[in-house]
Amino acid sequence: MLGVPGAGKGTQAELLTEALELPHVASGVLFREHLSKGTELGEQARVYVDRGDLVPDEVTIRMVAERLSRADCREGFLLDGFPRTVAQAEALDQTLTQMGTELNIVPLIKVSEETALVRLGGRWTCRKCGDVYHQLFNPPQVEGVCDECGGELYQRSDDTPETHRHRIEVYSEQTMPLIDYYRQAGLLVELDGEGSIEQVQVALRMVVEQACSA
Ligand SMILES: [Zn+2]
C-alpha cells in the first residue's frame, strides 16, 4: 500500500487487515521488533542506525522476507511502508517468486498536499498516558486535557508544517519511480483518499477483494 504521510495509509491498512483477517506487515513495526529483541538482523541494522546511516536494502529485505515466511502469511498479507524504492520492489518480486507467490494489487491512496498537511497538523499528545488527539478529527472533550487520564496535552516540537511538508516531499520524490514501476506492472490502483475514513475504506476493500479473488 502506498500513500504520502497524512494520506491515511496506516489507518486504512489497519482497518483492512482487521476486516480481511490478514497480517499487517508494517516495516516500521518489524524494524522495532528486531531491534528490541536483538535478533541477528536487528543487530546488523543497529550498526547503521547507531551511525545515523540508512539501513541497507539487503538487511531490510531479509527482515521482510523472514516475516513473509511465517505461517500467518500463507493466506496473504498486506505490506505497509515497504518497498520504498524500485530496488526494494525488485528484490521483493524475487523473494515472492521464490515463495511461489506474487502481489495481487498495489493500492495508492491519493490526497492533496493541503489535506495531508491538515491531517498531519493539529495532533495533541497526552504527557501522562501518551493518548493522541486531533483538533479536527478527534478532539478531546476539554481543550488541552486528556479524556482518558486528565493529563496535559502538548504538541510535539517536530510537529510543524515545515517538517510535515518536508516528509511529504521526501516520500513523494522517493516513491515516484516506484509508482511508475507498479503502474507498468499493471498492479497500481489509485484511490481518492479525500473522503471520510469509512468512505475510503469501502472503496479500498472493494478493489482489494476484487484483485484477490481474480
Ligand atoms: Zn492521558
Question: Is-contact 47 38, C-beta < 8 A?
Answer: no
50 Cα to the center of ligand 1, angstroms = 31
Residue ranges in the chain assigned as alpha helix (H): 9-20, 27-37, 40-51, 57-68, 86-99, 113-120, 161-184, 197-213
Grid coordinates in use for 175?
A: 516513491
152 Cα to the center of ligand 1, angstroms = 7
Question: Is-contact 59 7, C-beta < 8 A?
Answer: no
β-sheet bridge partners, residue 190: 108
Which pLDDT score, from 0 to 100, does residue 214 have? Answer: 67
HSE-CB at 185 with a 13 A cutoff on CA atoms is 19
Grid coordinates in use for 144?
A: 488541552
36 Cα to the center of ligand 1, angstroms = 25
Give me the long-range contacts of 61-68 (CB less than 8 A, separation at least 24): 61/88, 61/91, 61/92, 61/95, 63/27, 63/30, 63/31, 63/34, 64/25, 64/27, 64/30, 64/92, 64/95, 65/95, 66/41, 67/25, 67/30, 68/25, 68/95, 68/96, 68/99
CA 143, 137, 149, 156 torsion-angle sign: negative
Identify the residue whose cell numbers are 519511480.
177
127 Cα to the center of ligand 1, angstroms = 7
Which pLDDT score, from 0 to 100, does residue 127 have? Answer: 92
What span, in angstroms and rounded, lies between the C-alpha atoms of 149 and 24?
A: 30
- Phi, psi for 172 (deg, rounded to 5): -60, -45
Q: Give the residue numbers annotated as catalytic, written as ranges.
A: 9, 84, 123, 156, 167
Q: What is the pLDDT along the chain (214 residues), one digit of tens a residue?
A: 999 999 999 889 999 999 999 999 998 889 889 999 999 999 999 998 888 888 888 999 999 999 999 999 999 999 999 999 999 999 999 999 999 999 999 999 999 999 999 988 888 989 998 888 888 888 999 999 999 999 999 987 778 889 999 999 999 999 999 999 999 999 999 999 999 999 999 999 999 999 998 6
56 Cα to the center of ligand 1, angstroms = 38
